[in-house]
Amino acid sequence: MTTLSFEFFPTKTEEGTEKLLKVRDELAAFNPEFFSVTYGAGGSTRDRTYAIVKAIQERGIAAAPHLSCVGDSKDDLRSLLNEYKDLGIDRIVALRGDLPSGAGLASSELRYANELVEFIREETGDHFTLEVAAYPEMHPQATSFESDLERFVNKVKAGADSAITQYFFNADSYFYFVDRVRDMGVDIPIIPGIMPITNYSKLARFSDACGAEIPRWIRKQLEAYGDNNESIQQFGEEVVTEMCHRLLEGGAPGIHFYTLNQSEASLRVWRNLV
Q: Is 7 a catalytic residue?
A: yes
Distance CA 234, CA 268 (A): 10
Query: 3 and 253 in contact (C-beta within 8 Å)?
Result: yes
Number of helices and strands (H, E) in the chain? 10, 9
Q: In this structure, what are the phi and psi dihedrals at residue 37, rounded to the nearest 5 degrees?
A: -130, 125
What's the burial of 109, exposed, middle or buried (CB within 10 Å: 0-12/13-18/19+)? middle
Identify the three-state secondary structure at position 30. coil
Q: One of 7, 33, 115, 131 is an active-site residue; which one?
A: 7
Distance CA 239, CA 153 (A): 31
DSSP 192: P
H or E stretch covering 183: helix 171-183
Paired residues of 36 in beta bridges: 7, 64
Q: What is the DSSP string of 35-101?
A: EEE---GGGTTHHHHHHHHHHHHHTT--EEEEEE-TT--HHHHHHHHHHHHHHT--EEEEE--PPPT
Query: 66 and 39 in contact (C-beta within 8 Å)?
Result: yes
Strands 162-165 and 3-8: unpaired
Q: Rg of the chain's alpha carbons, rounded to an integer? A: 18
The catalytic site residues sit at 7
